[in-house]
Structure 1
């Protein structure tokens, strides 16, 4: 994996697929901040709130570098493609995308209980100038399927196997993807301030052997009782190293 720089945003990113990048890291002289909404904000309203927030702190829309979405239920393959076509319209308008290259990292998961009525924003990240900033980054979410190789379902690791052994296999693959992305950005687990897991299945059988032993829980772990965004995926993770986080009341 290699990275490219979005100079207008003050960050570099891992090129991946048109709907999102593999992760982002602040360039020297910038830091990444994260804002979580107090409740999920529908997509169009969320973009408007993000735009207002960036304007209020004197940052351009191109400073937007990552987001965490919540959707009502896992999409079909076609449904996911349709959703992504809607999502990237605003990114194009904001000048973030050149052709099909999308620099913005993203996670999009589906709460099993009390889901939102429509897709929306849970959190977002952006860069701000900071001459003395320590390095900061966000690794995009990944489920147990290789991206950019056709349909997700055709590439699912241990497809249909939600036994303890099957889930361990899925988790190992996702952990490997997290480590690949961290390494591409110049980081490791020791640099993370937060690691998140998204699954409705029991992670305890492999929690110690995989997540703890590999270093993914150095800063603890946040387990969301959510499903990945596409049907037949069962396990997803993301991680970040961000010095400042806040909650924006809705």
Structure 2
């Protein structure tokens, strides 16, 4: 089974690792709404504000389906595991995370300039009831490492290399992973409304040869001058199509 229905939240998810899913898509009768904070909000306060927003929309907390985080600097493998264990605890209390599935899609990146002083929410998404809505979805962020291994370094494409050729190869891997996840949800680049790239390396050497021809920029491309969340990773992407977006 490529996806698992999370009926309590009104969406289905691509099973992945304990800290996040590979992506989510609204179930029939629902659509996904994205909300961005004007300034990053520390995680604990962010969960409180997210709860207020979801309840104000008349939705259960299980409707929480995706988020985008900002962290001060890339983590070590151990530090990332520690952060993830603390991050999922509020989701357990909300009834979102169970013993065998975390359905929430996520990205977590580190701004190179003016980073937050602690891990913070940049944006989040949740489902709302909309019987006649188009298909909406969020693909979780992915860097150039296969997920689920003991160490990111062991699963990273060309670890330690940052030449233009190496960055292009990393980007090809990530683009392929985006396409794999889109396919699991029954989607393609044609349905994507927004694509985001996170890297401090120059995109231009391979933008026209690798990214644009695939159709990954049909809805535009937002380049965040950020690093992926784990030391040694250099390139990350996510993408989405949502029904509404707001800034608070």
Cα distance between partner residues in 2 of 1:240 and 1:44:
25
Deviation at 1:100, TM superposition (A): 4.0
Matches within 5 A, 1:17-32: 17-32=17-32
Deviation at 1:101, TM superposition (A): 1.5
Matches within 5 A, 1:150-165: 150-165=150-165
Cα distance between partner residues in 1 of 2:70 and 2:185:
25
Deviation at 1:243, TM superposition (A): 2.1
Deviation at 1:153, TM superposition (A): 1.1
| Structure 1 moving runs of 4+ over 4 Å | none
Cα distance between partner residues in 2 of 1:103 and 1:70:
20
Matched, 1:178 2:178: yes
Q: Secondary structure at the match of 1:187?
A: coil
- Post-superposition CA distance 1:31-61 (Å, at most 9, x none): 0000000000000000000001111111000
Map of 1:195 onto structure 2? 195
Cα distance between partner residues in 2 of 1:57 and 1:14:
25
Matched, 1:216 2:216: yes
Map of 2:204 onto structure 1? 204
Map of 1:83 onto structure 2? 83
Q: Secondary structure at the match of 2:240?
A: strand
Q: Structure 2: any 5+ residue segments left out of the alignment?
A: none
TM-score by length of 2: 0.99
TM-score by length of 1: 0.98
Q: Secondary structure at the match of 1:121?
A: strand
Matched, 1:136 2:143: no
Q: Secondary structure at the match of 1:206?
A: helix
Deviation at 1:220, TM superposition (A): 1.2
Map of 2:35 onto structure 1? 35
- Aligned-CA RMSD value: 0.7
Matched, 1:69 2:69: yes
Map of 1:236 onto structure 2? 236
